Amino acid sequence: MDLLTERHDGWVTLTLNRPAQKNALNTALLGALADALTTLAADPAIRAVVLRGAEGNFAAGADIGEIEHKTSAEGATDPRKTHWATIRAFPKPIIALVEGFALGGGFELALMADIMVLSPSARLGLPETNLGLIPGAGGGQRLMALAGRARAMRMVLTGEIIDAQTAHGWGIAAHLEEDAATFSTQLAARLATRAPLALMAAKAALIAGEDRALALTEERAAFETLLDTADKAEGIRAFRAREKPRFMGQ
């Protein structure tokens, strides 16, 4: 199974389980995650979720094969947009336990969580411009809200991947822990004892305040437009060939 569910007393661990692909977020996995969260949202026994990746990585981006031939028209009706919206609308606290790579869509997923806990092994980035694209699920906007304009520009424009210590120092993550897995489970158990209505109300208020200040629609529209460009095709070709891309601005 691409998504593993483990129930605990008052909380759940959801594990992205495509280790051969470093847990890259294809549409099926993203849909499974959205479906699982929809079910958990309606379960009063569950008050928090720990989201992690299998075998040492969180999620190393989207599935390149799905993007390679996608057009802007297909991007506009992409079911992934609904899946992302469902994940963002989950009313209970989500803890993102980030080990290893959290890149592209994987980093965008971690940025949608309410509390990010980093392992020292974590490596985070939005390298979409290497493929002639930009973040498509609000990652650039959320990164800017957390780390500031200068650092968001630095990461998005250059595709730089930063380490866990840098990410924590920039305020991207709430915690950097040597034993991030144990810390995350303890945190989830602690949240499960707190007033659930208050937690949901607090989360809803904070997200509403954040999202109103972000140009999420504009970022998504720009992503969809870039799907038709020759530079996107060249970026993915070069990525597959392990070559440096030659972008022509077309």
Helix 139-147, helix 216-226: angle, nearest 10: 130
**Could you tell me the residue range of the domain that residue 69 belongs to?**
3-180
pLDDT at position 143 is: 98
Considering the domain boundaries, does residue 108 fall inside one? yes
Backbone angles phi, psi at 21, to 5 degrees: -105, 20
In a domain, 223, yes or no: no
Mean pLDDT of 4-12: 98
Residue 99 known to be catalytic:
no
Q: How far is CA 90 from CA 35, 49, 53, 168, in A?
A: 11, 10, 19, 24
Tens digit of each residue's pLDDT (9 = 90 or more) over 205-232: 999 999 998 999 999 999 999 999 999 9
Give residue 17's pLDDT. 98
Select which of 128, 177, 219, 234 is catalytic: 128
- Considering the candidates 6, 66, 74, 108, report the single residue annotated as catalytic: 108
CB 126 within 8 A of CB 62: no
Domain count, the chain: 1
Residue 166 falls inside a structural domain: yes
Residue 237 in domain: no
Give me the CATH number covering residue 55.
3.90.226.10
Chain Cα centroid distance, residue 238: 24
Please count the other Cβ atoms lying within 10 Å of the Cβ belonging to residue 237. 15
Range with the poorest average pLDDT among 15-19, 84-88, 232-236: 232-236
pLDDT in tens, 199-212: 999 999 999 999 99
User: Does residue 106 carry a pLDDT above 90?
Assistant: yes
> What pLDDT score was predicted for residue 62?
87
Active site residue 128: yes
User: Is residue 45 included in any domain, yes or no?
Assistant: yes
Nearest Cα neighbor of 58 from 85, 87, 35, 29 is: 29
- Distances in Å between the Cα of 48 and the Cα atoms of 6, 155, 183 are 12, 30, 14
Q: Does 235 reside within a domain?
A: no
**What are phi and psi for residue 112, nearest 5 degrees?**
-80, -15
For 61-99, the pLDDT digits (tens) are 988 889 888 899 998 999 999 999 999 999 999 999 999
In a domain, 200, yes or no: no
